[in-house]
Amino acid sequence: MTNFKTIADGEIFSAAYEVNKSKFLSHVMHVETEEFARDFVLMIRKKYFDATHNCSAWILGERGDKQKSNDDGEPGGTAGNPILDAIKKNELTNCAIVVTRYFGGIKLGAGGLIRAYSHTAALGIANSKIVQMTTFRKISLTLEYNFLATVENYLRNKKIRVANTDYADVVTLEILLLLEQLEKFLTDLNDLTAANFLYEELGEILIPLEVND
């Protein structure tokens, strides 16, 4: 799996900007397919149907290999590409942005349009919650009850995630580890339990970790 930065799922983030009486609104959303990206753009266009332009761009895929931009009637290269560049500069993927413009009667020129769309998109990203999709290894750990308190205390101190716990004849914990944590984890567990445990690797999973500025 490839780690990557994206917009937090489940929310639309927005920002506004005004220059020479033209009003710009940006809306930013996490999307994972072209279908969802198109639906998002269509939704914003319907909401702001009275706007002069609803320009858009998106980047998709863990490696950001699917990219598209749309000027929606603005001069070629003055709207969609600047929005796309804002996504690239922030190293985001699975991200779609729509920048809506209400023309204020004063032409901005090509350079002015590029700056306005780029800045509005950047403002939208700045107002968004950014997450780092991080690869964790899922481990099934089985041990006797007499070791449970010691192991749980260790997990809390090391801030290791426990996804699930099954209390049966023995205890089975489903643990999430960063890739570089596994070797040290197993060494520590050997010391804590005198090697009285069983573990099984269950594969890898991507988990969103909030990016702090």
Structural domains of the chain sorted by starting position, each given as residue range(s) with its CATH number in brackets? 4-128 (3.30.230.30), 133-210 (3.30.70.240)
Whole-angstrom distance, CA of residue 47 vs CA of residue 62 = 30
Residue 213's pLDDT is 55
**What's the predicted TM-score (pTM) here?**
0.87
169 Cβ neighbours under 8 A, 6+ residues apart: none
- Per residue in 152-176, pLDDT (tens digit) is 999 999 999 999 999 999 999 999 9
Per-residue confidence (pLDDT) for residue 211, from 0 to 100 = 85
Q: By 3-state DSSP, what share of the chain in percent is helix, strand and coil, each rounded to 5?
A: 35, 40, 25
Query: Collapsing DSSP states into helix, strand and coil, what is residue 45?
Result: helix
Give the model's pLDDT for residue 191. Answer: 94
Exposure pattern of 29-58 as b/e (b: 16+ CB <10 Å)?
A: bbbeeeebbeebbeebbeebeebebbbbbb
